[in-house]
Structure 1
Amino acid sequence: MSVMHPDLSAIAAYVMPAVPLRACDVGFLFGTRHGVEEFCRAAHDLWQRGMFRVLLVSGGVTRGDARPEAEVIGARLVELGMPPALLVLETAAANTGENVMLGRAALAARMDLAGVRSVLAIGKACAMRRYLMTLERHWPGLALAGCPVNYFGIATERWHEHPEFRARVLAEYDKIPGYLERGFLSELAGYGAYPRKPLASASASSAA
């Protein structure tokens, strides 16, 4: 039976906080080239449950596909049955800050942003805090909700047992302080403080 190192538990609680899932004015799907089907099915399910009125999908071209992430995701959502009129596709963003800034501009071209008071972030489970911190930095004043998508094929609480999942969580933990210092993010109130003094063995701790 796998036992999580205490420092890994603290890191996971920070990087992947328990964010409420609730109906919002806008759904915001952060583009990805990983787990596209899982993301599309999660967003489609949220739409069927009435969790947003409009879905913003932001993501530009990434290596391995000449099509922007948002176009790939948008096309699949339409195949699953989402009406195209509910989708706002932003196809130029190359990083999470641009996702929010360019996505917000794309949304403003379709609707009055004064009416947007809440956003439901849909993104990788391993990066959920960073998505929310980016929204807090570049689109402050919103009520935020989250739908973390786990496409790794293992339960989220067992993240430390999966090499890629583990590597991505620890990478998020490592880069958030630098992003804060450079003004890319704003900290989230009410979701715990950065665990600044993990044991040196945390990153290398065996999952066994």
Structure 2
Amino acid sequence: MISQQSWADARCLWDFQQMGHEVRPCSVAIGLGSHDLGVADTTAALYHDGMVPLIVFTGATSRTTRERMPRGEAQHYQERAVELGVPSDAILVEPNARNTGENITFSRALLADRGITVSSVLLVCKPYEERRAYATARKLWPGVEWVCASTPMSFAEYIASIGDEHLVIDMLVGAQQRLMIYPNEGFMIRQEIPAEVAAAYDRLVADGFTSRLVPTAAVRGQESVLSE
């Protein structure tokens, strides 16, 4: 049974992850691979709205997607977008990235190899990881403008879509931990963490929402592959 305090703390982390960016036309969209096909749906909708002329879907597989997406996250996203009416020649597939840092780095290299000039990127990800994705992108590709987007939905709606409330809170806690520890490792820019957000995180960790935490001693050399 999840306490009222834990629900309030989880909503606090959810709200902090939302960047609140106004979606506007960009050079390209990068859809970050994951278990959530809603990322592909949202990216396709943004394409149809005229926000971007080109999409990059990036992602290999993870422990939570290798069975559901055996051809790789990016490939399944591409297939979904084509089903939704996006022309296949408007989509590039980057199939090798296994964490958020590689999503950005490999997508940047793919676009450079194709000779595509990029001044702004519409970064599409899961709703609970907007700030984490933004901070990573700003660190690894600082020369472009980043605009974050995700499927517009409430915290309650997202929990209902996943069907596992404890897992969603675990994922929020994991995303928040990375915002706090990864800047020290050079993986993302530093974000100011409000006191109430830090306190909510601490209470959730104490209450056992820890399955998506990175062992801090292991955070050396490269980003941990725990992106779900």
Please classify the TM superposition score into its range, dividing by the shorter chain length. 0.7 to 0.9
1:60-114 Cα distance to aligned partner (Å, 9 max, x none):
133324312111111121122111111111011111111111111111122333x
Match of 1:27 in 2: 29
Match of 1:118 in 2: 120
CA-based RMSD? 3.1
Structure 2 residue 51 is matched with structure 1 residue 51: yes
Match of 1:179 in 2: 182
TM-score (norm 1): 0.80
**Letter in structure 2 aligned against 1:28:** I
Match for residue 95 of structure 2 among 91, 99, 106: 91
Segments of structure 2 that go 5 or more residues without pairing to the other structure are 209-228
User: Identity of paired residues, percent?
Assistant: 24
Q: Aligned partners of 1:153, 1:202: CA distance in 2, in Å?
A: 16
Alignment of structure 1 residues 1-208 onto 2, 5 Å: 8=10, 10-32=12-34, 34-36=35-37, 38-62=38-62, 63-64=66-67, 65-113=69-117, 116-149=118-151, 154-155=156-157, 162-187=165-190, 192-195=192-195, 197-198=198-199, 200-203=202-205, 204=207
Label 1:3 to 1:105 Cα distance change in 2 as closer, same or farther (>3 A): same
Check the 8 A contact 1:179/1:185 in 2, yes or no: yes
**CA offset at residue 14 of structure 1?**
2.8
Match of 2:224 in 1: none
**CA offset at residue 117 of structure 1?**
1.3
TM-score (norm 2): 0.74
**CA offset at residue 19 of structure 1?**
2.4
Q: Which has the higher contact order (CA 8 A, sep 6+)?
A: 1
Check the 8 A contact 1:57/1:88 in 2, yes or no: yes
Label 1:177 to 1:48 Cα distance change in 2 as closer, same or farther (>3 A): same
1:101-156 Cα distance to aligned partner (Å, 9 max, x none):
1111111122333xx11111110111111111111011103222121236898336
**Letter in structure 2 aligned against 1:99:** N
